[in-house]
Amino acid sequence: MKYFKHCLIAAGLFVSCSLFAQQRNTFKPQKALLDTIDNNIKLSVSQYKYMAAQLPQGQFPKTFYPATNKAETSNSGWWCSGFYPGTLLELYEQTHDVALKTEADRILKLLEKEQYNTHTHDLGFMMYCSFGNANRLSPNSQYKQILLNSAKSLSTRFNPAVGCIKSWDSKPSDFLVIIDNMMNLELLFWATRETGDSSFYKIAVTHANTTMKNHYRPDYSSYHVINYDAQTGAVKEKKTAQGFANESAWARGQAWGLYGFTVMYRETKDKKYLDEANRIAGFILNNPNLPADKIPYWDFNATNIPNALRDASAGAIMASALLELARYTDKQDGRKYFNAAEIVLKSLSSPQYKAKPGTNGGFILQHSVGHFPAGTEVDVPLTYADYYFLEAMERYKAFAAR
């Protein structure tokens, strides 16, 4: 408690832990869906062993193009490099299959060097989804040092004048921040818990507060990119690079924000973050363009709805976030979030989205959208879709254990 109070004071927060204690709502999972999840995990193990066997030496899986039957891979510097080892470790946790741990250990060795990468804001994705899971399952000093170095590298991108961590490098006068960056703050909270150094905590809280102020519209949809003046912190532009238009609601961006502010509440117990997460959830779940199966179109404002492509990755991230948020909010909203996540999990478990064994390049889910305007990774499997699908299934199973 002494440590927790220290962090709150250091961040300038004056929050009563007793008043805003996390709620622990519990809801009863459906046995049929739990059985489906068990089958999904068996399929996932088979798929990822197949993927591992096809993976070129020194490479990380990126996507697969069914039309040409060709896989695309990346080096360790790609922002998604942490999801493959993270997924292997999630599966190992569920099955205790040693072959999965062996492959995770192999690929983690290739990823280690990214702990010193100061040219990306994605070290949370890259290092916390990988080494964070490894350390959670088998704590050791080497994993902890890698994670701490990663947090230090991420912190170098923080600009106090702007109050944010820079996302994309650009010309010196620009300071580009994307909503995805909310997902990288969890690494910084871990670093403060591990070391007692509140500077990481302060950066995370300041970044979140600035994002709340500038990324969100009155309806609690989010822009994708804010361009700040690097010297003064003034907002220069508000854009949506990977969405349909600047004023549209890019689906995965909405899911990143929902997840990120749920984590902010978990880590700080500050009710303003719970309120923000609830409002974002309200925008998503009450949106007239959210389909009945709860798998979003790639952009909520795409002009060709209902014929627009769906984004399974946005659905998976959303489901995982809602299952955590359901525990913290009031029972009525919690039930709504839990039920919505159930629908997403059922949908993603259907043949429409779940791959058949031995297909899809070893990926679990089909039909995600990476960057539609650029024409890259469109209607294909993606590593982060699989990662958050498995996380969502694990979180759903956890309700049965309570």
100 and 193 in one domain?
no
Domain count of the fold of the chain: 3
252 is in an annotated binding site: yes
| Rounded-to-integer distance, Cα 395 and Cα 294, Å | 18
For the record, the structure tokens of 94 come out as 């569920």
Mean pLDDT to the nearest integer, 112-121: 98
Which of 1, 31, 41, 51 is closest to 381 using CA atoms?
51
179 and 310 in one domain?
no
Distances (CA, A) of 113 to 3, 76, 124, 147: 31, 8, 14, 11
Choose the catalytic residue: 35, 38, 122, 311.
Answer: 122
Beta strand pairing call for 368-371 and 158-159: unpaired
Confidence of residue 338 (pLDDT cuts 50, 70, 90): very high
Asked, for residue 60, whether it belongs to a domain, the answer is no
220 and 130 in one domain?
no
180 is in an annotated binding site: yes
Q: What percent of the chain has pLDDT over 70?
A: 94
The domain boundary, picked from 146, 173, 198, lies at: 146
Choose the catalytic residue: 169, 180, 275, 386.
Answer: 180
Asked, for residue 115, whether it belongs to a domain, the answer is yes
Asked, for residue 366, whether it belongs to a domain, the answer is yes
Confidence of residue 402 (pLDDT cuts 50, 70, 90): low
Asked, for residue 6, whether it belongs to a domain, the answer is no
386 and 295 in one domain?
yes
For every residue of 260-319, DSSP letters joined together read: HHHHHHHHH--HHHHHHHHHHHHHHHT-TTS-TT---BSBTT-TTTTSSPB-HHHHHHHH
pLDDT at 11 over 60: no
The domain boundary, picked from 180, 205, 239, lies at: 239
331 and 309 in one domain?
yes
Higher pLDDT, 353 or 1: 353
122 is in an annotated binding site: yes
pLDDT at 18 over 60: no
Q: What is the pLDDT of residue 13?
A: 36
115 and 90 in one domain?
yes
Residue bearing tokens 């489901």? 319
368 and 300 in one domain?
yes
For the record, the structure tokens of 147 come out as 């994670």
Asked, for residue 87, whether it belongs to a domain, the answer is yes
Confidence of residue 5 (pLDDT cuts 50, 70, 90): very low
196 and 96 in one domain?
no
Asked, for residue 133, whether it belongs to a domain, the answer is yes
Task: State which residues form the domain around 204.
Answer: 157-239
| Rounded-to-integer distance, Cα 19 and Cα 362, Å | 47
Confidence of residue 6 (pLDDT cuts 50, 70, 90): very low
169-194 pLDDT, tens digit per residue, is 999 999 999 999 999 999 999 999 99
40 and 141 in one domain?
no
Q: Is 174 annotated in the active site?
A: no
222-255 pLDDT, tens digit per residue, is 999 999 999 999 999 999 999 999 999 999 999 9
Asked, for residue 248, whether it belongs to a domain, the answer is no
Confidence of residue 12 (pLDDT cuts 50, 70, 90): very low
CA atoms within 13 A on the CB side of 16: 3
pLDDT at 19 over 80: no
Q: Is 180 annotated in the active site?
A: yes
Residue 302 sits in a domain whose CATH number is: 1.50.10.10
Q: What is the pLDDT of residue 21?
A: 39
Confidence of residue 10 (pLDDT cuts 50, 70, 90): very low
Mean pLDDT to the nearest integer, 114-128: 98
The domain boundary, picked from 146, 174, 202, lies at: 146
pLDDT at 155 over 50: yes
For the record, the structure tokens of 29 come out as 């999972």
289 and 179 in one domain?
no
Are 233 and 162 within 8 A, CB to CB?
yes
Q: What percent of the chain has pLDDT over 90?
A: 93
Asked, for residue 356, whether it belongs to a domain, the answer is yes
Mean pLDDT of the chain: 94
Q: What is the pLDDT of residue 14?
A: 31
